[in-house]
Chain A
Amino acid sequence: MTRLLKKLGFFASVFVLVSPAVLVFLWMISLSFKNELDNTAFPPVFIPNPPTLKNYVDVFAQNNFALYLWNSVLVTGGAVLTGLAVGVPAGYGIARGKATKFAILILVARMTPALSYLIPLFLLFQMTGLVGTITALVITHLVITIPIIVWIMIGYFENVPIELEDAARIDGATTWQAFRHVALPLARPGIVVGGILAFIFSWNNFIFSVVLGGKNSRTLPSAVYNSLTFEQISWGPLAAAALLVTLPVLLVTVLAQREIVAGLSAGGLKDG
């Protein structure tokens, strides 16, 4: 009897833990499939009846949504790929060269608020005429992607036994070849983890695009935020847009759940 009660109590606690997340996401979905009348009804209508796709059609028809989506793809893609190209070898160099000070610098960079880079970079881009360009956003997003990738790769490369590279070098491999053909393939899971986390944090970033994005170069989060301030608030299209913005990230979370958990406990932490 007590065991049954304990079990019930346990499942009740699981239910309590999961329900806030479920509630918010379900409400988001519900808002996005309801017509305007149901969205402003009181008491609220929970289940869309009949569900409508009109909000989604509106999002694409009215807001240049496709352009902003493309901007987000360009900025995040550019920043993640550059981040990997620069950050993976750096992680290797730091791990093998024991460059502790540089590693700590990267950690501090990971922790400082985005706004601490933004004022000087804003001035710099203003002087060079880059404000409002995709290039400026890609460059600033490197502030997000490089530290995550480097920090994660240090951990993965440290776990690759150096004996393997030494063996390759005895056989005549150069340092570069030992990296390219021995260490890099072994650290591939780290590249996946670092790339995924860098993608998520870069995609989610809001502040850089708010300050540096022009009318045509904004990324999705700030574009959706702007549609809130400059147009009449209508909940359905807004919820639909919000859902579309966060959908890629949620899909990646579901698909790469194990890698994300591994990365976060390996020191990916988070970025804000």
Chain B
Amino acid sequence: MPGHDVPRMTTTTLSPTIANAQPASSTQSADFTPRYWLFAAPAVLVVATVIVFPWLFTLYMSGHDWKIGAGPEFVGLANFAELFRDARFIESMGHTFYFTSLAVVLPIVFGTAAALVFHREFPFRGVLRTIFVMPMMATPVAVALVWTMMFHPQLGVLNYLLSLVGIGPSAWVYSPDTVIPTLILVEVWHWTPLVMLIVLGGLAGLPREPYESALIDGANDWHMFRHITLPLVWPFIMVAIVIRTIDALKAFDTIFVITQGGPGTASETLNIFLYLQAFQFYKIGYASAVVVIFFVIIIMLSLLLLYARQKSKWNA
């Protein structure tokens, strides 16, 4: 992970390497920057069209009452005011919070544990790690379809497996009480490998010496984990926490395929609410206001991510 992040660029504003390596290039380096920008020019153009323009246009739409088919009508901040009076929106925020908190904590705990396991040498480690990583690579829609079949209350394999260990059938996604925990189960299955990979990257860079001296002092495994490993990989866990939070907030594919926000609105998260407002009710001004709120949350988390990455670099 070291050397692959933005913070490094912020710290070295003017490249000292050029100046030191060859003094003759001082006149040359003055016109480096514009030429380097030419390399990025096509990307700037594309990013401006497909990324920045949509953002600005969304901001514009959020100030308008706009249904697809009819024209826009300027309403100022009325969309936002309406959102905070919309019980369905408030409910979806609650669902998002519930879903996100567990869909962050559980993968972090399991992923860190898995990283500790896969950090050790053992037979078939490579193969087993590949299998372990597969869920995060698999097409979410394809996997969601299989989960849907597994959750079937009468014919699903999960209720059968539960019955084998003497637990009664669960309603899984068919009851408002169990739908969000069930979706969290799928999310944990899907994304624990990502946390594992990030933490594994942190473990790979750990120094040996602290462990050797701790062993001499007679420390046991738990002590070494608690007082050496955990503090050292904590910055990486922080990175994983922020990434998980962002991903869980915008989780869409599996929820949409498995429940479409149902039963009723019991699993309607912010992103599902947004989709329905925009592409089912065609209230695009209203939906854009949701996007703006979403965007503010994501930007704050992204800044947190940059900060966490910077810390993880210093400690690596």
Q: Which of A's residues lie within 8 Å of B, judged by CB?
A: 10-11, 13-14, 17-18, 20-22, 24-25, 27-28, 31, 40-44, 85-87, 89-90, 92-100, 102-109, 111-123, 139-140, 142-143, 146, 150, 154-155, 158-159, 161-163, 166, 169-170, 175, 179, 200, 203-204, 206-207, 211, 220-222, 224-225, 228, 235, 238-239, 242-243, 245-246, 249-250, 252-254, 257, 260-261, 264-267, 269-270, 272
Contacts and interface: CB of A to CB of B under 8 A. Distances in A.
B36 A96 contact: yes
B47 A257 contact: no
A162 B134 contact: no
Contacts of A206: 139-141, 252-253, 256-257
Contact of A143 (B43, B51, B247, B302): B51
Interface in B151-200: 154-155, 157, 160, 189, 191, 194, 197-198, 200
B298 A246 contact: no
Interface stretch (B25-33, B79-87, B211-219): B25-33
Given A89-B43, A115-B271, A207-B253, A18 B131 contact: yes
Interface of B: 1, 3-6, 8-10, 12-15, 17-18, 21-22, 25, 28, 32-33, 35-44, 46-47, 50-55, 57-58, 61, 68, 110, 113-114, 117, 120, 122, 126, 128-143, 145-147, 149-150, 154-155, 157, 160, 189, 191, 194, 197-198, 200-201, 243, 246-247, 249-253, 256-257, 271, 274-275, 278-279, 284, 287-288, 291, 294-295, 298-299, 301-302, 305-306, 309
Q: Is the interface of A mostly helix, strand, loop or mixed?
A: helix
Contact of A264 (B25, B160, B197): B197
Contacts of A257: 126, 129-130, 133
Given A119-B291, A253-B134, 5 more contacts: A27-B150, A41-B155, A115-B271, A120-B57, A225-B257
A120 B298 contact: no
15 contacts: A13-B117, A31-B149, A109-B51, A113-B249, A115-B291, A120-B58, A121-B50, A154-B6, A162-B21, A206-B253, A206-B256, A206-B257, A243-B142, A264-B198, A266-B1
A97 B279 contact: no
A93 B146 contact: no
Nearest to B291: A116
A102 B40 contact: yes
A46 to B, nearest CB: 8
Contacts of B249: 113
A24 B246 CA distance: 25
Contacts, number: 314
B138 A155 contact: no
Nearest to B40: A93
A162 B276 CA distance: 50
Contacts of A28: 142-143, 146
Contacts of A264: 194, 197-198
Contacts of B114: 17
Contact of A42 (B35, B149, B160, B305): B160
Contacts of A265: 1, 197-198, 200-201
B37 A99 contact: yes
Among the interface residues A17, A44, A87, which one has the most CB atoms of the partner chain B within 10 A? A17
Given A90-B39, A97-B33, A264-B194, A42 B155 contact: yes
Contacts of A14: 117, 122, 128
A87 B251 contact: no
Contacts of B278: 115, 118-119
A99 B197 contact: no
